[in-house]
Amino acid sequence: MTNDEQLRIGRGRPEVFLVCDKSLGSSEAPFIKWLRSAGFTYGGYQGNYGCWWVYIEISRKLYGYGMPGIRVTQAICDHAITIEEFKTIYNIYKKYFGKEVFVFYKERFDYDLQNQ
């Protein structure tokens, strides 16, 4: 990929959040159970190695466990976030799920409807 291609918005990074918490060392962690109850399915390569991190892709509702010494994929902003931060982000995306790209409430470009 050339430098010019790297500057194009369409050549974006993966849509994967890297979530870190000591509890994630267990495949039966409350957050993993929460992901499953929210409709996420396992899309990883291996089982849980006891790592404290999990990769999560919201758009396809997939998660995968971290692997010691291996970066499974590139995380958004190259940094981990907390469980609570992920839940905040997920709730924002969930609010707009199934809506057209510029529909915030009921029609296109109605982002300021709440302020009227």
Domains of the chain by residue range: 3-99
Return d(Cα 69, Cα 104) in angstroms, integer.
41
Could you report the per-residue pLDDT of 79-97, keeping only the tens digit for each? Answer: 999 999 999 999 999 999 9
Enumerate residue ranges in the chain where pLDDT < 70: 1-14, 115-116
53-56: Cβ within 8 A, 24+ apart: 53/18, 53/19, 53/20, 53/21, 53/24, 53/80, 54/18, 54/19, 54/24, 55/16, 55/17, 55/18, 55/19, 56/16, 56/17, 56/18, 56/19, 56/86
End-to-end Cα distance, the chain:
46
Global pTM value: 0.83
